[in-house]
Amino acid sequence: MADDNQQHDFEGSKRLLESEHPSLVDRYYQSRYLIDSQSKKNEDICILTHSNRICIVTVAEWHPLLREKKTISQISYDVEGVNRMDNKISGKGKRGAQLLTPSSPLCEVTCTDGSKYIITCGVRGQLIEVNETLLKSPDLLSLKPQTEGYIAIVLPKLGDFEGTTKNLLSKDEYIKIRSSGT
Amino acid sequence: MCGNIFSSDPTVTKEIVLLLTQDGLCPRCVLRFLGAGDVGLFRATSEELAQKVKSLVDDQDDIFSPLPCPACLGILQVYLEEGFLNRVVEAVRTSDHQFKNFICSLTTPVCSLLREHAILLLLKEKFKSLYEHREVEEISSVKDVWKWRSGPLLAAALDAPFELKSKFDIILNFTYEKSDKECTFLSYHSPEVFRKRKQQRSYGDTYTRANVARVLSKMTEGYFKRNYSLPKSNETNVCLCEDIRCVHDAVFVAGRYNKYSRTLSQTPWILDGGRKSESSVEEEICGPLKKKFLFTEQRFSSSGREDVDVRMLGKGRPFVVEMGDPHRVRLTPEDLAEIQQEINKSADVKVRDLQIVEKNDINKLKEGEIEKTKTYSALCWSKEPLSQEQLQKLQEVKDLVIYQKTPIRVLHRRPLATRERVVYSMSAEKVDDLHFTLNLLTQAGTYIKEFVHGDFGRTTPNLGTLTGVECDILELDVQSVELDWPPSLGDT
């Protein structure tokens, strides 16, 4: 049989090794942004969207939590009368999921300096899961805001993905706005 | 003379015959209701049987009506004549199937159940002692009598034996358009049994043999007699057989495949009306198979699957193709070797151990998917260089239990769950400062990519937590699927 094929396809791999490494987020997700969430200045959220329409809500680097290098003491998913930990879904259709709108609160972040921030959803869809690791390790949010420190995973309804993401800014647009010093 | 019929008294027999022929029953149906069940008897021609029945009534002439029989609706009359049987033979020849023996399957109109029931009740009423305890199962069925007569004739014309366990079925669909109407009175008796669906899926959907038989068994004789009477014979009260279909049982072919392309999907990948990947493993294998087996439908199963961008190396992944209604079935191992060679002309897909297997063997495939281990080789990247010690430490990991939440990349179509899996062993070789090859032996169903990059921390432990360095996966190859099936044919 074709034994030469059993080794790594050398030419292809060589190219891979020599090029710059795009991260997992760069390869599979598009970063979209919401600035001044809930009209709170600088409280930007970054939504990572996958080609299968799943949205991962994360805190953007410009947000005071990260920009001012705050130390987080606790994160709670029980916020404004709704407990996100109560979310129980079943089946492929994600029955029973809490329905979220762009202004739905996801969690409350408390810092050692007493400041508190509410992170809102930014998109419309079903709540799939919140990042429970943040309960025990809230510092993950500051260390890895775009990966292990994600806030929640949301699934927009089939057909609603375009509608709910069209108001979000693309990375280029966002960089333009934020670097012009506003 | 007529074999064992219910009546042993010729006078009584004569009365029964006269009663039945008065209602227009044909010779074969008269014999059926007399209790005849001898296959040899029913091999005779229509003329011979008419003579036999006439002899039971002192050779009276003109006892038989020229109109369609109300009991069999013509199935045991015109549909046993040379004209129709020639039509059947012609249909078989046109369908161009290869077969070594055959069976015939008949579907008959549901109202024939009512007809049989009515005639039996009539006989119970007029000949109580003989028929009081007779069940409808004791009367030779229309289907059986049809097959007893036509079987040998078709076998001679097709030069192939009529065999009860044959894989080649000649399906005759006898329809009678007034059948549903005749059954409506049943829905007044038992409306809950015959719920009308919003959309009738097909003709005869509301009244099926099963639910009609069930209602008849619960209905009193009095109610039946008050609400149903055997329709009068006339020329139009006859079945139609517009549909003669020939189908051969599916044939199963198994083998192992290798996939050398990182842009080929396993099964056809079509999204929103457009193809996402030209061809697929399934099509590369089924194309050459179809040219030889001439099947109409295909179903491709394999022991697990790999992603589009993952190669399948080593001895390959076991698969089975179910070929529906193949028109050619007499293929030898040499023919299969030729098909294998044809498939192997493709650069992207190679196949080995191609062989015909039994239907039950598909279970072995699925066994492999759930139980067997798999080995992989992954080209990985790390954010910082990993020392020899760190790589060595990976080698010491044995039977590591990991917890994988449903990967985000499939979360839109799979339920959210946490899967416990085992990474049995690993080894790593440095490629350059930021790259290394990771070999793993894992439990079936482990998501390797997510084990390497961690999937936002939703797979733990992962390579990142084990080495303390952020890792990512560039390329993945499946090295082996540990399933000892299908049996090796010694292909190189």
The residue of chain B with its CA nearest to that of A1 is B492
pLDDT of residue B198: 60
Mean pLDDT to the nearest integer, B30-48: 94
pLDDT of residue B139: 94
pLDDT of residue B14: 94
Kindly state whether B413 is in contact with chain A, defined as any CB-CB distance less than 8 angstroms. yes
Residue with tokens 């358009």: B177
**The domain B257-366: what is its CATH number?**
3.30.70.2510
B71-93 core/surface letters (b: 16 or more CB in 10 A; e: else): bbbbbbbbbbeeebbeebbeebe
The rounded distance, in Å, linking the Cα atoms of B215 and B213 is 6
Shortest alpha-carbon distance between residue A170 and chain B (Å): 21
Kindly state whether A24 is in contact with chain B, defined as any CB-CB distance less than 8 angstroms. yes
| E strand map for B231-339 | 240-248, 251-259, 270-271, 274-275, 297-302, 310-324
pLDDT of residue B369: 76
The answer to ipTM > 0.95 is no
Kindly state whether B409 is in contact with chain A, defined as any CB-CB distance less than 8 angstroms. yes
Contact B413 A1 (CB under 8 A): no
Report the residue of B352, B354, B403, B411 to disrupt the A interface, i.e. the one with the largest count of A CBs within 10 Å: B411
Q: How confident is the model at residue B202 (pLDDT cuts 50, 70, 90)?
A: low
Contact B456 A148 (CB under 8 A): yes
pLDDT of residue A39: 86
In chain B, domain spans: 10-247, 257-366, 373-481
As to burial, measured by CB atoms within 10 angstroms (0-12 exposed, 13-18 middle, 19+ buried), residue B393 is middle
pLDDT digits (tens, 9 = 90+) for B212-263: 999 998 999 999 999 999 988 888 899 999 999 999 999 999 999 999 999 9
* Closest-CA residue to B466 (of B375, B382, B376, B379): B382
Q: How confident is the model at residue B199 (pLDDT cuts 50, 70, 90)?
A: low
Pick from B352, B409, B437: CB nearest A28: B409
- Across chain B, mean pLDDT equals 92
Distance of CA A88 to the CA centre of its chain: 20
pLDDT of residue A11: 60
pLDDT of residue B176: 94
- The reply to whether B257-366 and B373-481 are identical in fold is yes
Proportion of chain B above pLDDT 70, given as a percent:
97
- On chain B, the residues whose CB falls within 8 A of the CB of A136 are none
The rounded distance, in Å, linking the Cα atoms of B492 and B344 is 12
**Token pair belonging to A37:** 């969430």
pLDDT of residue A1: 39
How many angstroms separate the Cα of B38 from the Cα of each of A124, B35, B343, B360? Answer: 74, 9, 54, 37
Residues A112, A116, A121, A127, CA torsion sign: positive
pLDDT of residue B251: 96
Q: Do B93 and B160 contact (CB within 8 A), yes or no?
A: no
Q: Quick check: B50 pLDDT over 80?
A: yes
Catalytic residue check, B38: no
The rounded distance, in Å, linking the Cα atoms of B88 and B105 is 12
Q: Which of B249, B307, B472, B491 is catalytic?
A: B307
Kindly state whether B429 is in contact with chain A, defined as any CB-CB distance less than 8 angstroms. no
pLDDT digits (tens, 9 = 90+) for A114-129: 999 999 999 999 999 9
Residue with tokens 């009991």: B71
- The stretches in chain A having pLDDT less than 50 are 1-8, 182
pLDDT digits (tens, 9 = 90+) for A127-149: 999 999 999 999 999 999 999 99
pLDDT of residue A3: 45
Residues sharing a CB contact under 8 Å with residue B468, sequence separation 6 or more, in sequence order: B390
Shortest alpha-carbon distance between residue B257 and chain A (Å): 11
Mean pLDDT to the nearest integer, B453-469: 95
pLDDT of residue B275: 73
Residue with tokens 């806030």: A151
CATH architecture, domain B373-481: 2-Layer Sandwich (3.30)
- On chain A, the residues whose CB falls within 8 A of the CB of B263 are none
